[in-house]
């Protein structure tokens, strides 16, 4: 007797000119690109119900619509789940509509928080859109619960589009499943220095009103880390959270368990410089921290001496430093960006990123409409537009890494042929920008 085939779910980041991958751009200046931890959690849920799953990030791999069509025809899934950031990425559904007749198309992304009706009317190929916290909604869909009883979705039945009530956000994130590591090719996500496989663990999320942060329990995070170490021999992690040292008791419980159980992991995470002291850094170092990232806020720029003191303390522990300088498209000009660049040189962190806020998306998702987003003027300096600011921020980012101090520091870290190739490739791209 022939064994019945499992039902299939195809998770995708669709072909696009814009990178989506978990809100972190895969640029040449980036320390890392994050594995698709959102899709990996959904895949765990799907496998709990007996589904076979597949994933492809078309934008990340520079694959085209035609690659998607071939994959779709060959895999022939019952469900397609796509995560998007921009409405333009949905055009892939329109092009592939003839192959989607027998598929249930589920879409997720922040754009469904506003005007979901117009999007589903424009793209009739979408059967269900997930809003807010998507994991439980997805679970209930696979349980085949009545759609009108599933919170946090927009769905289409015949010619009618319906919106259910918002899903309540739970304060404790322990409901999030461990990730399905088998969904991805680990060789696609390697550490930037040792070129070893790594994964990202989502530790925190914002609350309902974005005024507070919700976390997983420290014990739950430890068990998750231990699962990946023992089952997959993964020992490199990115802890995705706003600030790992938000609560000293939580912090001590997690990292002391990691130290006492001798997990021998390496990780990078975000920290708050204001809550940082030598004892905190000692615990981080012993637990395996190799990079800390922190944001430099505008109000902190005047306290350079204190910032330099904190950065020096981190360097003393032989932990690499990475600073993020946020650039607000409507409050910046070349002069203000140059001030941030000068501050970056004074702090001299191992890595620095000058991040443009996603102003285009912010305005696309509002009721304000512009004919050409790239021509929105900067109110501080009228002759500057979004494109000017983006190009200048990229130039400043390049100049930071092309300084001799950073260049020679990078050279001293090269200890393998792989690193030589990576170094050559990265700096060649920088020079071309």
DSSP state of 325: E
- Chain-centroid distance, C-alpha 247: 23
101-114 pLDDT per residue, tens: 889 999 999 899 88
DSSP state of 169: P
Question: Which phi and psi (to 5°) does residue 47 adopt?
Answer: -70, -25
pLDDT classification of 142: cutoffs 50, 70, 90 = very high
Is the pLDDT at 205 greater than 60? The verdict is yes
Q: Which of 14-18, 184-188, 352-356 has the highest mean pLDDT?
A: 184-188
What is the percentage of the chain residues whose pLDDT exceeds 90? 50
Least confident of 123-137, 221-235, 237-251, 327-341: 327-341
> What's the confidence (pLDDT) of residue 317?
94
Cβ atoms < 10 Å from Cβ of 231: 11
Mean pLDDT of 92-120: 88
Is the pLDDT at 29 greater than 50? The verdict is no
DSSP state of 170: P
Mean pLDDT of 375-391: 57
Asked whether the CA dihedral 115, 119, 124, 130 is positive or negative, the reply is negative
Q: How far apart are CA 113 and CA 366, in angstroms?
A: 11
258-297 pLDDT per residue, tens: 999 999 999 999 998 887 889 999 999 999 999 999 988 7
Mean pLDDT of 305-328: 91
Mean pLDDT of the chain: 84
Please list, in sequence order, all residues whose beta carbon lies within 8 angstroms of the beta carbon of residue 296, skipping any fewer than 6 positions away.
307, 323, 324, 325, 326, 340, 343, 347
Cβ atoms < 10 Å from Cβ of 87: 18
> What's the confidence (pLDDT) of residue 286?
96
Q: How far apart are CA 65 and CA 70, in angstroms?
A: 9
CATH class of 190-318: alpha beta
Least confident of 6-15, 170-179, 276-285, 327-336: 327-336
DSSP state of 150: S
> What's the confidence (pLDDT) of residue 323?
92
Whose CA is closest to 131, among 114, 112, 158? 112
> What's the confidence (pLDDT) of residue 392?
83
Alpha carbon separation from 278 to 55, 109, 121, 252, 321 (Å, rounded): 42, 40, 56, 13, 15
Domain 8-163 part of CATH 2.70.70.10: no
Here the tokens at position 74 are 């060959």
**111's torsion region: left (phi>0), alpha (psi -120 to 50) or beta?**
alpha
The ranges assigned to domains in the chain are 8-163, 190-318, 321-401
> What's the confidence (pLDDT) of residue 363?
45
Strands 128-130 and 153-157: antiparallel
Mean pLDDT of 41-67: 93
Q: How far apart are CA 156 and CA 3, in angstroms?
A: 34
What is the percentage of the chain residues whose pLDDT exceeds 70? 83
- 51 versus 97: the higher-pLDDT residue is 51
Is the pLDDT at 182 greater than 90? The verdict is yes
Alpha carbon separation from 181 to 9, 43, 178, 289 (Å, rounded): 16, 9, 9, 22
Least confident of 3-12, 81-90, 225-234, 372-381: 372-381
> What's the confidence (pLDDT) of residue 192?
73
């Amino acid at each position: 007797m022939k064994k019945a085939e499992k039902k299939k779910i195809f998770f995708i980041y669709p072909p696009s000119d814009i990178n989506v991958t978990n809100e972190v751009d895969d640029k040449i200046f980036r320390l890392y690109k994050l594995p698709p931890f959102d899709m990996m959690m959904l895949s765990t849920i799907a496998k709990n119900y007996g589904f076979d799953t597949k994933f492809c990030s078309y934008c990340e791999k520079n694959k085209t619509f035609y690659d998607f069509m071939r994959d779709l025809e060959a895999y022939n899934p019952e469900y397609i789940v796509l995560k998007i950031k921009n409405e333009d990425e949905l055009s892939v559904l329109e092009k592939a509509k003839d192959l989607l007749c027998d598929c249930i198309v589920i879409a997720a992304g922040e754009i469904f928080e506003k005007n979901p009706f117009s999007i589903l009317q424009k793209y009739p190929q979408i059967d269900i859109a997930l809003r807010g916290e998507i994991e439980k909604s997805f679970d209930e869909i696979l349980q085949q619960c009545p759609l009108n009883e599933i919170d946090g979705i927009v769905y289409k039945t015949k010619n009618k589009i319906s919106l259910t009530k918002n899903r309540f956000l739970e304060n404790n994130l322990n409901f999030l499943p461990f990730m399905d590591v088998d969904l991805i090719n680990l060789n696609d996500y390697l550490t930037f220095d040792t070129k070893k496989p790594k994964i990202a663990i989502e530790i925190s999320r914002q609350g309902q009103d974005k005024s507070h942060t919700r976390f997983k329990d420290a014990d739950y995070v430890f068990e998750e880390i231990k699962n990946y170490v023992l089952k997959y021999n993964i020992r490199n992690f990115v802890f995705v959270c706003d600030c790992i040292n938000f609560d000293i008791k939580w912090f001590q419980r997690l990292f002391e368990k990691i130290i006492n159980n001798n997990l021998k992991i390496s990780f990078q995470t975000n920290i708050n410089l204001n809550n940082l002291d030598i004892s905190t850094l000692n615990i981080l170092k012993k637990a395996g921290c190799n990079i800390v990232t922190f944001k430099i806020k505008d109000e902190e720029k005047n306290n350079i001496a204190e910032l330099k003191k904190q950065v020096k303390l981190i360097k003393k522990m032989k932990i690499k430093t990475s600073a993020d300088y946020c650039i607000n498209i409507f409050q910046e000009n070349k002069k203000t960006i140059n001030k941030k660049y000068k501050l970056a040189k004074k702090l001299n962190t191992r890595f620095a990123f000058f991040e443009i806020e996603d102003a285009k998306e912010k305005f696309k998702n509002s009721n304000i409409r512009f004919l050409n987003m790239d021509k929105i003027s900067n109110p501080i300096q009228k002759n500057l537009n979004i494109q000017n600011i983006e190009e200048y921020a990229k130039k400043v980012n390049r100049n930071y890494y092309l300084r001799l101090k950073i260049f020679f520091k990078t050279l001293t870290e090269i200890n393998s042929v792989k690193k030589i190739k990576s170094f050559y490739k990265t700096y060649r791209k920088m020079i071309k920008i």
